[in-house]
Structure 1
Amino acid sequence: MMKYLWKVLLVSWVMSISTMARAAESDVNVTDPYVMVETVANNTFARFHQDIDTIKRDPDHLKVIVSQELMPYIDYKYASYKVMGTYLRQSTPEQRERFSEAFKNYLIATYAQAFTEYTNQAVEFAPAKSFAQEKMVDVNVQIIEQGRPPIKLQFRVRRLKDDTWKAFDLVAEGVSLLSSKGAEISNLIRQNGIDSVIEELENHISSHISLESQGTKR
């Protein structure tokens, strides 16, 4: 279940303009969470198609796309601290920094692999709501795939101190990926210690992207 939900996360980002015209790459308005999510999706989708030949020659190029198109708009440090939970205060500043960096690179590798599941599914965005007084908002979308029930998603986005916004979590069918990953990480830290978990995340980073799923196509 967890593996499937993590796949849904990145697939949702890259599919998010498949029901709309394929817009040209554009600047990202990070002061509007709804516009930001759609624009990041547009840019990622365009980059994916632009680099498809490179991806087929070198699947690890997907990590480059994720790093450049997605990660600038994901608050990975906030997410990593949430995942650490109660163990955050028990860690040293150096451990927190190592964990945060390892978690960022873990997300890059995980999202890049999930990218290979893209098979031209459709996405419907719910109308934007007023967010002037909000510190966090949910950007609601539905993934539409023929022959399957729609998948309901909520991108959780938070306002930063400079009034810009970044995404930090995805709720898929009522299940928070951040909470789920937090429970998994907390259990591993309790059993093996934080340094061991950091090493495990770092080992995952070194794995190569596989196109065996055959989802990656024009």
Structure 2
Amino acid sequence: MKIFFSRVIALCLVGSVVISQGAMAANDEVNTNDPYEMIKQVSNMTFDRFKSDNTLINNDLSHLKVIVREELMPYVDYKYAAYKVMGQYLSDTTVDQRNRFVEAFEGYLVATYAQALTEYTDQKVAFDPPRDFSDEKIVEVNVQILEQGRPPIKIQFKARRLKDNTWKAFDLVAEGVSLLASKQSEISNLIRQQGIEAVITMLNDKTQQRIDRQPAKEAAAA
């Protein structure tokens, strides 16, 4: 499941986008007032940056973290996701512990997404038509990953409306399995077993791990 999610993240972030109404130019301001446009634009911008920085990436894979931080993370509600991951243990932590956990979780997401980008080859991403979201607080942006020789993978990006009426993504659901719920189960169990401080240290350690290209055998099995 971990390999599957990693591969799906890579395809969603930098897949060549197929859009019936056409994508806006990568240098246009991201429309955070429309969750559907936001997801499409961020995907396109990340893909364009991935291509333009190809030489930098080949020289140093850690540059993928720079791309993720600059092109993706401004549109991810990682604080909300971090609180969800902490679950019932959130109320047991101090303000300082919560702040440090959020920071560590953000770094962990950056490293996770950067590592996932090493698995990208040349897939396409098709977005379903948008729906009316005027009265919605949470929206699911439906996507299909199209890859020759494989059945389509159905994806949902979940985005939430903030108090200022802008939107940010907070979860990715692949074939009915939530990445957020998966991480909540994994990390909340670790908090229960080892405590919040140990988990913060673990997340920070994972953030510092080197970005490496996946072995061909592992990538093929993904």
What is the TM-score normalised by the length of structure 1? 0.94
Q: Percent identity?
A: 58
Query: What does residue 13 of structure 2 align with?
Result: 13
Provide the aligned C-alpha RMSD in A. 1.7
1:49 maps onto 2:63 in alignment = no
Q: List aligned pairs for 1:1-218, cutoff 5 A.
A: 1-15=1-15, 17=17, 23-213=25-215
**Does the 8 Å CA contact 1:144/1:151 hold for their aligned counterparts?**
yes
Corresponding letter in the other structure for 2:5: L
**Does the 8 Å CA contact 1:84/1:185 hold for their aligned counterparts?**
yes
Q: Deviations over 1:8-60 (max 9, x none)?
A: 12431211526777944321010000000000111111111000000000110
After superposing on structure 2, the runs of 4+ consecutive aligned residues of structure 1 that deviate more than 6 Å are 19-22
SS in 2 for 1:139: strand
CA–CA distance in structure 1, aligned partners of residues 48 and 159 of structure 2: 23
Q: Deviations over 1:154-204 (max 9, x none)?
A: 000000000000000001000011001100001111111111011000000
The change in CA–CA distance for 1:129 and 1:18 in structure 2 (over 3 A counts) is: closer
CA–CA distance in structure 1, aligned partners of residues 145 and 215 of structure 2: 19
Instruction: Give aligned pairs, total.
Output: 215
* Structure 2 residues without counterparts, runs of 5 or longer: none
Higher alpha-carbon deviation: 20-29 or 172-181: 20-29
* Structure 1 residues without counterparts, runs of 5 or longer: none
CA–CA distance in structure 2, aligned partners of residues 16 and 137 of structure 1: 23
Q: CA deviation at 1:208?
A: 1.3
Q: CA deviation at 1:139?
A: 0.3
The change in CA–CA distance for 1:144 and 1:153 in structure 2 (over 3 A counts) is: same
CA–CA distance in structure 2, aligned partners of residues 130 and 16 of structure 1: 25
Q: Deviations over 1:114-136 (max 9, x none)?
A: 00111111111000000000001
**Does the 8 Å CA contact 1:22/1:46 hold for their aligned counterparts?**
no
Higher alpha-carbon deviation: 6-15 or 68-77: 6-15
CA–CA distance in structure 2, aligned partners of residues 121 and 22 of structure 1: 20
**Does the 8 Å CA contact 2:10/2:118 hold for their aligned counterparts?**
no
